[in-house]
A and B are shown apart, each in its own frame.
Chain A
């Protein structure tokens, strides 16, 4: 009997090691590999130039104000097939090196546990009139949304697809219960209402290491620009890191 308890203890201990450490290692590697297969995704220099570093080659071109397009004219891609990676997310608040792939679907085994950020099927696509709703782990499995609580109102959330850059700004955050699906409605908080804006919604678990509640961040589209030589100034923005 005592030996069985020792074995059971070892298995429980192994589970903790697996959940807290091993999933992070494998999922982070998987997500990096996915990113490298996207030949259109911008993974180049996303660190601001050092001031007075004139000898160094200049950083990437920045999208000029004149090239920033109104949300009303934003191109909207078709919803891709389940598990297809169709966009990348840049969040300067989480470091200038933060870039994660976004894939279709929000099931654990197929998308969130391996590919990282998932897009709620049936919600808007990037730039669409409505609500582009995405979900990801806050702890374990590469934890794409680990630092969601640090986001402040006005922070940039930048989405890139093969065609365009979309720059969203955080408008509000909240903590809700898991069944409150109205947060991903076309108009957040008003299920059934006709879409009146270009929203983005991030959902993840709350508190950390628990599944009791959900941490929600909403944002609105500020501008979009076609993918070209230039990148949005926002992703070069150096936000002081804790």
Chain B
């Protein structure tokens, strides 16, 4: 199982593990919002507004 495994490999007492987890989650969400989601939205033409010649 993934979740218990993550908890096991993290070092330190419970509160340190919690802080590390929160930091990692924040970083992952940041990367998604800043780079992954904008790329996805543009690449798959979600919310397109322009008229353009048919390819």
Interface residues of A (CB under 8 A from B): 3-4, 11, 14-15, 18-19, 22, 106, 108-109, 112-113, 120, 135-141, 145, 176, 178-181, 183-184, 203-205, 209, 211, 214, 216
Contacting pair B2 A178 (CB below 8 A):
no
Give min CB distance, B53 to chain A, whole Å.
5
Contacting pair B42 A211 (CB below 8 A):
no
Contacting pair A181 B52 (CB below 8 A):
yes
Taking a contact as CB atoms closer than 8 A, the residue among B1, B29, B33, B48 that contacts A178 in the complex is B48
A138/B49 contact (C-beta < 8 A), A14-B29, A19-B41, A109-B42 known? yes
Give the interface size class of chain B.
20 to 34
Determine chain A's interface SS by DSSP, over half rule.
Answer: mixed
Query: Could you list 21 examples of A-B contacts with CB < 8 Å?
Result: A3-B2, A14-B32, A14-B33, A14-B37, A15-B37, A18-B32, A19-B41, A106-B50, A108-B42, A113-B38, A135-B49, A141-B47, A176-B51, A178-B50, A178-B52, A180-B51, A181-B52, A181-B53, A183-B51, A203-B49, A205-B47
Taking a contact as CB atoms closer than 8 A, the residue among A4, A112, A184 that contacts B51 in the complex is A184
Interface residues of B (CB under 8 A from A): 1-3, 29, 32-33, 37-38, 40-42, 45-54
Taking a contact as CB atoms closer than 8 A, the residue among A136, A145, A203, A211 that contacts B45 in the complex is A211
Contacting pair A179 B37 (CB below 8 A):
no
**Further pairs besides A137-B47, A176-B51, A211-B47: 10, Cβ < 8 Å:** A14-B37, A18-B33, A18-B37, A106-B49, A112-B49, A113-B38, A203-B49, A203-B50, A205-B49, A211-B46
